Structure 1
Amino acid sequence: MARTNRRLTRGARYRRYTGGPDPLAPPVDLSEALDAIGEDVMAGYSPERAMREFLRRGSSERSGLDDLARRVAERRRELTSRHNLDGTLQQAKELLDRAVLAERKQLARDVDLDEDYRALAEMQLDSLPPSVGAAVSELGDYRWQSAQAREDFEAIKDLLGRELLDQRFAGMKQALENATDADRAEMQRMLDDLNELLAAHRRGEDTSERFAEFMAEHGRYFPESPGSVEELIDNLAQRAAAAQRMRNSMTQEQRDELDVLAQQAFGSPDLMASLGRLDGELRALRPGEDWAGSSRMDGEQGLGLGDGTGVFQDIADLDQLTEQLAQSYGGSQLGDIDLETLARQLGQDAVVDVRALQHIEQALRDSGTLRRAPDGQLRLTPKAMRRLGRTLLRDVAGQISGRTGARDVRRAGAAGDLSGATREWSFGDTEPWDVTRTVTNAVTRTAAAGRATAGGVRIEIGDVEVQETEARTQACVALLVDTSFSMALEGRWLPMKRTALALHTLVSSRFRGDDLQLIGFGRYAEAMEIEQLVGLDVGYDKGTNLHHGLLLANRHFRRHPRAQPVLLVVTDGEPTSHLEPDGEVWFDYPPDPLTIARTVRELDVSMRLGARTTFFRLGEDPSLAQFVASMARRVDGTVVAPELDELGAAVVDSYLGARVPGRWGDDMGAGDLFGDVERWGDSRRWGESGRWAG
């Protein structure tokens, strides 16, 4: 039995798995894709476009479509700059020169030759036209005295025949090397049968049986083994069209030379006639092929007709890949990319990159992070919004804590009463231990391991559970964000959205008792869900209607009379519009005194409702700075002028400081919230100018 097993093992063969997705492949990591897509969505892209942009850029580990397209363009440029189309003509010229030289030597050596004939032969050789084709035609009836010269001259005819066939049937040049007359006759018979088959198919006749007979007799000339007459026509038409594009790319002089030489192929014009008929049938059957294209070839390496046709096929493949990788046509998708052609032109590593992008795209659609809305457009799902929000909040935590690597916010009201719930301890937690749960976990683990507990139980980190607490204070928060055109014009659109999403994530995941309302104010103000704000496009209507935004904020505060109102205003401009009693918008610039008065009056209402107010001033406009400072003094609020990359941290910091009055002093921060033994008050200060220093 052992010997049998060894024999079976020795005969085993392992091949690439082709039964679908690799069952052993690790799950697709979507974190980088989701973060990139979320950033682009907040910048104003649709989720569909954002996903396509990520696929174009690629990931940190895989090339994107743009990089693959660049490699395709470089490959095409290499082909066209390396080669020229004189290869066959140069070979024919070399053979002709060698034949003429050998003949001259023979005429000089042959003392028995008739002098009149010698003189006539030398005169004919001396007067040969410079054109290779014309010279070969003129020497068609010449009686060669040199056997070597005759052999070289016949090689020209053989070369042309093999090259012409190699243009239509790849590999034929090598296959017919040293071919006999019988081989050439067999090739001519194949061409005649092929033309008859194609003509019958073009007339609409049933050619299935005829095709089978043709392949049984001539199949050796078609190594690709087409399975039907349609597949045969496709293969032949693609190569014939490439041959035509090569001809189109030649100069008129080159075409004329080859036309003359082609008539001498295999010593008669029959081959050229058969190939001409074949091209006509293929044009009629496949008019959609590119028969009129051309490419400039100005390199130094000469191409024969067959090799040149192969290069033009490669160029066609590369042009097709360029279109597929561009994904710019309607209904385009990654599945359109021809992976076999890609592997042939760029190698297997390019296929690996495309498959990785395909898996990412499919995983994004299947993972619940993107959904198709009723209008047919892709939308970020709440799951994706939560993922993006956690990432942004983690960045904010890193800024606030004054060090990178701060752990994710996991605290649920550390400053308050016990909630009765427990959870596993994580590094940085400062909540009290639940001793009963901790000891029980240690005993259970020890017993499960089969060890006795009589000698005591050793507590490990994984056994520890801590008690969660309820927050003592409920806050009612209104975040007003300026959505006027100037925010986008000055590059503040994306930081504004990032800030709103970070604060929304913090409130919805860690302070669920708080009520946050997001209000965007441009010409009008509008209360928005986070998905609406994140996907908001830039508006071009003029106006900064802070008055309307404060009206909505105060309405929000009144709905929560027992909560602490927190008013956060992010803006880069003075109010230039307000609501009239009839609901219409009044706009004027510079700001109208009436607009300022109504805005101030509504801010006074916020103060009477007990709101703790912070203005986040973006930009260095002196008029804005003066206006915001006076507004803050009026309501005993705060002005912060953060840099754009610190806006999120500044807003979150202000929210946390306002929601628990008296909890944190000037030198106390939200270290408890982030589960850090440090206090962020030790790592940041408010400057005298009100500028936030992270």
Structure 2
Amino acid sequence: MSRYTRYGGGDPLAPPVDLAEALDAIGQEVMAGYSPERAMQEFLRRGGRDQAGLDDLARRVAEKRRELLARNNLDGTLQEVRELLDTAVLEERKQLARDVTMDDGDRAFREMQLEGLPPSTAAAVSELASYDWTSQEARAAYEQIKDLLGREVLDQRFAGMKQALENATDEDRAAVNEMLRDLNELLEKHRLGDDTEQEFRDFMDKHGDFFPEDPQTIEELMDALAARSAAAQRMMNSMSAEQRAELMQLSQQAFGSPELMQQLSRMDDNLRALRPGEDWSGSEEFGGDEGLGLGDGTGALQDLADLDALAEQLSQSYGGARMDDVDLDRLARQLGDDAAVDARTLAELERALRESGYLKRGSDGELRLSPRAMRELGKALLRDVATRLTSRQGQRDVRQSGAAGERSGATRQWAFGDTEPWDVPRTIGNAVRRTAGEGGVSGRVRIHVDDIEVQETEARTQAAVALLVDTSFSMAMDGRWVPMKRTALALHSLIRSRFRGDDLQLISFGRAARTMEIEELTALDARWDKGTNLHHALLLANRHFRKHPNAQPVLLVVTDGEPTSHLEPHGEVYFEYPPHPLTIAYAVRELDNAGRLGAQVTFFRLGEDPGLARFVDSMAKRVDGRVVAPELDDLGAAVVGSYLGSRAPSGQADYRDWFGGRGFWAG
């Protein structure tokens, strides 16, 4: 048997969520120092170009809550009763004035009764309970008061009852009282654990029309009743003491029978015991001009409870928060189907990000960018670097990627003058596809010159590369943290994709130095420790070079300050500012060691500090190195360009060749 449910909204033909925009935004946030978890939360909060975010939904929730409180007040039922009472008294006075047959003493007594009614609406209604009305219109208005009160007190606990019982008959009222008696018996049995599922089904078969929510279990029934009953209690708590006293007194007149209030009070007691976690004591400050009846006021309090719950869910500020926590039915009820569609899309996006393989959870439980995500992010950064490099002036355009040497793994279309070996499988494949596209005869394939692809080679030796990045206090303070990390990732991606034989060591140095994997450096938060330990970083770099005696050492140093700390012989870190002469001497000694190992050295000086400029210039001269002072936006291109220059004997190769020719640019 097929079962159909209500459509959840949105475009049924829309494609699955697109992760491209989200991944790009998350990558940028990670580069800015956010953790992947926080970066994902920020994207969900902000939303995309055509996608509302959590902040927008939360704003709409807050606006509706303010509107409810500002527009309404809670004395609507009292106002209705007062109007009906005034109508009844006026009609009675008219009748007394018109009735010439009435005894003058009786008329005077009745007029005195009406004139002496207490100012309290509830007291006046109670005093007129035994009054013998002479006007049919007045009697009807007074009976409407009792009918209204009965429907209102029921509407507080059962949504829609005010409208359903309008013009109710005595049989209808008897059915309500019977439902309440049966309901209380069922709830009391459940409190004792003596109820059965069959008893619940029998109750719903008999009284199901009173429950449009169509609860499927007694737990669902209690949830709906307790939420409404607790909201009714909060409404009473929100009233003034005078309003509360009047309504309690008026409620005794409901349907002209005290049994109704007795059964409702009994039901409230049962629900309090069964659902103690509901908010039975809260209150709200309503300050508007539009009066709410008891039922409407209770509904408004339920709406406020829904909005408060949604505000917490949309904040995602509690431990273990997930988009799946957002109650979509409640959101649709309060803000409409479009809001629920937006929240559902965000939930699907979060789920896709977690399940796509771009994010993985580490041993510490924290999310990390996966190697796949790092490759994609590095590829994007390399595209930016390549664009900057090829836009520079003075580079000789050489199409070859190297006429002889190691195969790089990349291929390109053959051009006149190329001497590289053919890539036979790709060449034949191109010919077969072209022939098939031209409707050629099966078995006869002719190779056209445009089908030929050659294998690129690189005339190079293996290199041991040490990238030393300053992670001191000033790097974070002066906005150099993000460019430093982008530079490291771009160089790492280039070596892993195009120069796999080279060995890259990433070394961060602040107060002390340490080696890092690219994932760790990318996720590294800004450091606020003072100290620039170039000495320790050079020690680690030289150890890396000695591990690769047959490789060409390449030393790249990114820094914005003179050394202010060094490593003592016993392993302790010494810090002093201005720099101690011994700190400078230790750094110079290790740089000389790198020079003796044959390292090609380039310093990348950030900032305009004259002391740093003098220090870096003198250090570079000692080892016949270079000094580059790039703008922050150009740091990645400067570092990658320096590395590529060390890989080309002539230093004049077109940078596009290093990035894989046409294949890279198409990617």
Report the TM-score, using the length of structure 2 for normalisation.
Answer: 0.89
Superposed, 1:65-84 pairs within 5 Å as 65-84=54-73
1:471 aligns with 2:456: no
1:125 aligns with 2:114: yes
Helix, strand or coil at the partner of 2:156 = helix
Partner residue, 1:394: 383
1:306 aligns with 2:291: no
Label 1:435 to 1:557 Cα distance change in 2 as closer, same or farther (>3 A): closer
Partner residue, 2:497: 509
Deviation of 1:570 after TM superposition, in Å, equals 0.9
Partner residue, 2:637: 649
- Give the distance between the partners of 1:515 and 1:486, measured in 2 at CA: 29
1:672 aligns with 2:661: no
Label 1:245 to 1:603 Cα distance change in 2 as closer, same or farther (>3 A): same
- Give the distance between the partners of 2:426 and 2:265, measured in 1 at CA: 90
1:631 aligns with 2:616: no
Partner residue, 1:205: 194
Helix, strand or coil at the partner of 2:226 = helix
Partner residue, 1:332: 321
Partner residue, 1:166: 155
Alpha carbons 2:75, 2:291 under 8 Å: kept: yes
Partner residue, 1:610: 598
My pick for the range that moved more, 75-84 or 612-621, is: 612-621
Label 1:380 to 1:341 Cα distance change in 2 as closer, same or farther (>3 A): same
Label 1:266 to 1:486 Cα distance change in 2 as closer, same or farther (>3 A): same
Helix, strand or coil at the partner of 2:571 = coil
Partner residue, 2:86: 97
1:52-71 Cα deviation digits (max 9, x unpaired): 33333333332232322222
Label 1:50 to 1:443 Cα distance change in 2 as closer, same or farther (>3 A): closer
Superposed, 1:330-479 pairs within 5 Å as 330-402=319-391, 413-414=401-402, 416-417=404-405, 419=407, 423=411, 425=413, 434=422, 440-441=428-429, 443-449=431-437, 451-452=439-440, 463=451, 465-479=453-467
- Give the distance between the partners of 1:420 and 1:590, measured in 2 at CA: 48
Superposed, 1:220-369 pairs within 5 Å as 220-369=209-358
My pick for the range that moved more, 440-449 or 77-86, is: 440-449
Label 1:231 to 1:566 Cα distance change in 2 as closer, same or farther (>3 A): same
1:570 aligns with 2:570: no
Label 1:643 to 1:24 Cα distance change in 2 as closer, same or farther (>3 A): same
Helix, strand or coil at the partner of 1:519 = strand
Alpha carbons 2:406, 2:459 under 8 Å: kept: no
Superposed, 1:53-64 pairs within 5 Å as 53-64=42-53
Alpha carbons 2:423, 2:455 under 8 Å: kept: no
> Which residues of structure 2 form unaligned runs of 5+?
393-398, 663-667
Label 1:412 to 1:518 Cα distance change in 2 as closer, same or farther (>3 A): farther
Deviation of 1:75 after TM superposition, in Å, equals 2.0
1:391-429 Cα deviation digits (max 9, x unpaired): 2222222333339xxxxxxx99557547396636599xx
Alpha carbons 2:403, 2:419 under 8 Å: kept: no
My pick for the range that moved more, 366-375 or 171-180, is: 366-375
Label 1:588 to 1:35 Cα distance change in 2 as closer, same or farther (>3 A): same
Deviation of 1:484 after TM superposition, in Å, equals 1.6
1:462-518 Cα deviation digits (max 9, x unpaired): x46343222334433211001122222333222211110111001111122322211
Label 1:267 to 1:475 Cα distance change in 2 as closer, same or farther (>3 A): same
Helix, strand or coil at the partner of 1:143 = coil
1:111 aligns with 2:100: yes
My pick for the range that moved more, 212-221 or 94-103, is: 212-221
1:171-223 Cα deviation digits (max 9, x unpaired): 11111111112211221122122222222222332343433332232222122
- Give the distance between the partners of 1:623 and 1:418, measured in 2 at CA: 44
The one-letter code sitting in structure 2 at the alignment partner of 1:600 is V
- Give the distance between the partners of 2:547 and 2:375, measured in 1 at CA: 26
Partner residue, 1:495: 483
Label 1:453 to 1:280 Cα distance change in 2 as closer, same or farther (>3 A): closer
1:418-442 Cα deviation digits (max 9, x unpaired): 7396636599xx9979597787455
Helix, strand or coil at the partner of 1:672 = helix
Q: Select the residue among 464, 468, 481 that pairs with 1:480.
A: 468
Partner residue, 1:596: 584
Label 1:398 to 1:79 Cα distance change in 2 as closer, same or farther (>3 A): farther
Report the TM-score, using the length of structure 1 for normalisation.
Answer: 0.86
Superposed, 1:20-31 pairs within 5 Å as 26-31=15-20
Alpha carbons 2:76, 2:291 under 8 Å: kept: yes
Helix, strand or coil at the partner of 2:89 = helix
Q: Select the residue among 572, 579, 603 that pairs with 2:567.
A: 579
1:621 aligns with 2:614: no
- Give the distance between the partners of 1:201 and 1:482, measured in 2 at CA: 68
Alpha carbons 1:437, 1:465 under 8 Å: kept: no
Label 1:365 to 1:415 Cα distance change in 2 as closer, same or farther (>3 A): farther
Partner residue, 2:396: none
Helix, strand or coil at the partner of 2:655 = coil
- Give the distance between the partners of 2:339 and 2:278, measured in 1 at CA: 27
Question: Alignment RMSD, CA only?
Answer: 3.2
The one-letter code sitting in structure 1 at the alignment partner of 2:620 is A
Partner residue, 1:555: 543
1:306-365 Cα deviation digits (max 9, x unpaired): 111112111111111222222233333222222211221222222222332232333233
Superposed, 1:122-201 pairs within 5 Å as 122-201=111-190
Alpha carbons 1:442, 1:460 under 8 Å: kept: no
- Give the distance between the partners of 2:80 and 2:403, measured in 1 at CA: 90
- Give the distance between the partners of 2:419 and 2:510, measured in 1 at CA: 43
Deviation of 1:24 after TM superposition, in Å, equals 7.4
My pick for the range that moved more, 451-460 or 466-475, is: 451-460
Partner residue, 2:665: none
- Give the distance between the partners of 2:98 and 2:6, measured in 1 at CA: 66
Alpha carbons 1:137, 1:264 under 8 Å: kept: yes
Label 1:145 to 1:464 Cα distance change in 2 as closer, same or farther (>3 A): farther
Partner residue, 2:530: 542
- Give the distance between the partners of 1:213 and 1:59, measured in 2 at CA: 51
- Give the distance between the partners of 1:13 and 1:527, measured in 2 at CA: 60
- Give the distance between the partners of 2:298 and 2:90, measured in 1 at CA: 32
1:52 aligns with 2:41: yes
Partner residue, 2:395: none
Label 1:456 to 1:268 Cα distance change in 2 as closer, same or farther (>3 A): closer
